[in-house]
Amino acid sequence: MFRRWFIRNSSVQNKFLISTLFLILIPLGLFGIVSFQVSKQSIESQVNQLNLRTLGQISEKTDMLIDDIISVSNTFYLNTEVTHGFSTHFTPNSYEEAQIRSAFDRLLTNSIYSFGNIKYDVTLLGLNGFKLSTNPQYHSIRLQDIVEQDWYRTATEAKGRILWITEPIPGLGPAGTADHSVYAVRVSNLFESWAPIGLVIIRIDEKTLRNLYAGSLDENQEIIIVNDGQVVSSNERFMENVDLNNRPYYKKIDHYDSGYFVDRELGTEQLISFQTIGKTNWKLVSYTPTRTVLASINRIQTIVMVVFAVVALLSFAASYYMARRLAIPIKRLHKDFGRVEEGDLSVRSPVYGEDEIGMLTRKFNQMVAKLNELMHDVTREQQNKRQAEIQALQSQINPHFLYNTLASIRFMLYKHKPETIDEVIVALVRLLKQSISKPDEWIPIEEELGILKNYLFIQQIRQGNRLDIQYEIDEAILAYRTIKLILQPIVENAIFHGIEPKRDKGTIRIRGYLEGADVLFEITDDGIGMDAGTLANFGSRAADEETAHGGGLRNVHERIQLHFGGKYGLALAAGEQGGTRVKIRIPAFYHLEEAKQR
């Protein structure tokens, strides 16, 4: 459909404009879009790579913190006095308890001196009821509540390895507020049987973790620490304790150690980068709004769109101007072609330049001028020739004659012998074959006489004894050529308009002979003849149309003149003994080129 409309039906102006759109505006627009997308992806990739490096640094600092917490835990876990306190039953406020507390204070002082940059609490909880802690809330700890926790069973099975707990531990969280602490828990066991005897719990405030990445945050950026889908630490309070397991994108974070992608979070599109913390298998996740990242390129995009709109308008205006400059001369030339098509050969189209359209216009003017010159020479001749040929075709066989001949044959069935009827039919067939079936315009005079004899044979049978035919034909003319059917219409005219009206026997004499370089035929009848006015005005169309028999004679006369010139044709005169004499003059020639040279 587009091909049919654009190629066939669209104007040159529209094609030029559409071509400009396809060749300039669309490629320019596509280039801008592709460039913007490539730039956008490049910036997003660079920001994500930067975020990954930042998260890697935070992960290293977190691992260092974890190492320090492990060292603090080892200080108490590996101490024999602490182990003795977990495994010995002593009386409250006894000397033994005082010794253990003194050892605990000494260990705590040493650890604070060694790891003074970390804010933490240490809690020692023996299954024998022994409790020591720097946490002021530890008095509310109930051993029964601890052993019922799922993580306690996991810690017991860990055989002394540290278990990182991010859920609240009853009795150790801050009073009156939500517990956002992280706990490093180890179960102390008897060396011989590995039976659990107590717990060493190191509590780290969430602020300690937050300080690891707070200084690395950019504007509108969010970083969180996630453990099994639960947010452990966040610089935004509304993200704390959020479960990310119901986020579709968390599967990507959970299945890979590091990476980045784009997804929606916090109600907007975000660049999400993540990194795994090696010591704990926690996930560091960074959220950066794409609107922040792409703010600069969005401004560039706005500028590019404005520039593109200006370029598009200028290109369209220039294309429209050029298209009109091309289309107006073509439209005017098309209009002038239409006037020529309607017959106005006085049209001359103005030439506006020396380009291809100007050359085409100049050739058009030359063509119209030449055509006008030729039309003046041939229009009348062609019209007359066409009319004469049409009339010749109409007069080749007279429908009335054919009807009468067939009717006569029908009545001959009762009066004549079958042999006679057969001869009439054969003559009719020959006549029809010679005059209608053969397409040749030029035939030998002998063949033209054959057509005439077949025609007259039928007429003699039809007329009975009322028609006598006399031939005086010079055999020297038989080989020359002539136009087909110039004798039969003259003889037919003599029979129907000369012989038949006088009601008695008539005679037609047909002569053919050479006169110089011409062939002459004389057809004379002794019929009722023509009046002097008709004979004198022969050749006048108005006079011929007023007579019943002028059309056939005029048809032959005009055909001869159209082919051979004005000195040839028919001449009518009254017969010496009444009737009419028709003289036909044509050039004597064997080939058509000979006749044209005369």
Each residue's pLDDT tens digit, 25-39: 677 777 777 877 777
Higher pLDDT, 17 or 583: 583
pLDDT category, 394, cuts 50, 70, 90?
very low
Mean pLDDT check: name the lowest of 5-19, 288-302, 359-373.
5-19
Domain 209-294 has CATH 3.30.1360.80: no
- State yes or no: pLDDT of 570 exceeds 60: yes
> Sign of the CA dihedral 45, 47, 49, 52?
negative
pLDDT at 513: 96
Collapsed DSSP state (helix, strand, coil) of residue 448: helix
pLDDT at 345: 75
- State yes or no: pLDDT of 547 exceeds 70: no
- What percent of the chain is modeled with pLDDT above 70? 82
How far apart, in whole angstroms, are the C-alpha atoms of residue 232 and residue 54? 19
Whole-prediction pTM value? 0.50
How far apart, in whole angstroms, are the C-alpha atoms of residue 280 and residue 184? 10
Residue 276: HSE in the Cβ half-sphere, 13 Å Cα cutoff:
13
DSSP 549: S
- State yes or no: pLDDT of 542 exceeds 50: no
The tokens for 346 are 């006085």
DSSP string, 113-182: HHTTT--EEEEEEETTS-EEESSTTGGG--HHHHHTSHHHHHHHHTTT--EEE-S--TTTSPTTS----E
DSSP string, 472-513: EE-GGGTTSEEESSSSHHHHHHHIIIIIGGG-S-EEEEEEEE
pLDDT digits (tens, 9 = 90+) for 457-487: 888 887 778 889 999 999 999 999 998 888 9
- State yes or no: pLDDT of 499 exceeds 80: yes
The tokens for 570 are 């028919």
Q: Which helix (H) or strand (E) holds 344?
A: none
pLDDT digits (tens, 9 = 90+) for 577-591: 788 999 999 999 988
pLDDT digits (tens, 9 = 90+) for 154-168: 888 888 899 998 888
- State yes or no: pLDDT of 526 exceeds 60: yes
pLDDT at 138: 66
How far apart, in whole angstroms, are the C-alpha atoms of residue 361 and residue 353? 9
DSSP string, 207-250: HHHHHHHHTT--TT-EEEEEETTEEEEESSGGGTT-BGGGSTTH
Higher pLDDT, 281 or 107: 281
pLDDT category, 413, cuts 50, 70, 90?
confident
Rounded to the nearest angstrom, the gap between the alpha carbon of residue 335 and the centroid of all alpha carbons in its chain is 31
pLDDT digits (tens, 9 = 90+) for 174-233: 655 566 788 999 999 887 778 898 999 998 888 888 888 888 877 778 888 998 888 888
Burial of 390 (0-12, 13-18, 19+ CB in 10 A): exposed
Do 357 and 330 contact (CB within 8 A), yes or no? yes
Of 110-124, 141-155, 169-183, give the range with the top mean pLDDT: 141-155
- State yes or no: pLDDT of 237 exceeds 80: no
Higher pLDDT, 408 or 164: 164
Tokens 């980068």 -> residue: 273
- State yes or no: pLDDT of 396 exceeds 80: no
**CB count in 10 Å sphere of residue 458:** 23
pLDDT at 187: 92
Q: What is the mean pLDDT of residues 381-388?
A: 63
- What percent of the chain is modeled with pLDDT above 90? 13
Higher pLDDT, 165 or 416: 165
How far apart, in whole angstroms, are the C-alpha atoms of residue 164 and residue 227? 10
Do 476 and 512 contact (CB within 8 A), yes or no? no
Domain parsing of the chain, residue ranges: 209-294, 329-378, 396-596
- State yes or no: pLDDT of 78 exceeds 60: yes
Task: Return the biggest CA–CA distance within the chain.
Answer: 186
Mean pLDDT check: name the lowest of 52-56, 233-237, 495-499.
233-237
- State yes or no: pLDDT of 308 exceeds 80: no
Long-range pairs for 382-387: beta carbons < 8 A, 24 or more residues apart: 384/558, 384/562, 385/562, 387/558
Collapsed DSSP state (helix, strand, coil) of residue 586: strand
pLDDT digits (tens, 9 = 90+) for 426-444: 877 777 776 665 556 788 9
* Distance from the first to the final alpha carbon of the chain: 60
**CB count in 10 Å sphere of residue 514:** 13
Do 538 and 569 contact (CB within 8 A), yes or no? no
- Which residues does 42 contact at the CB level (< 8 Å), separation at least 6? none
Higher pLDDT, 427 or 24: 427
pLDDT at 457: 85
Higher pLDDT, 555 or 378: 555
CATH topology of domain 396-596: Heat Shock Protein 90 (3.30.565)
pLDDT category, 558, cuts 50, 70, 90?
confident
Collapsed DSSP state (helix, strand, coil) of residue 259: strand
pLDDT at 241: 65
DSSP 518: E
How far apart, in whole angstroms, are the C-alpha atoms of residue 345 and residue 367? 10
pLDDT at 454: 86
Radius of gyration of the chain (CA): 62
- State yes or no: pLDDT of 24 exceeds 80: no
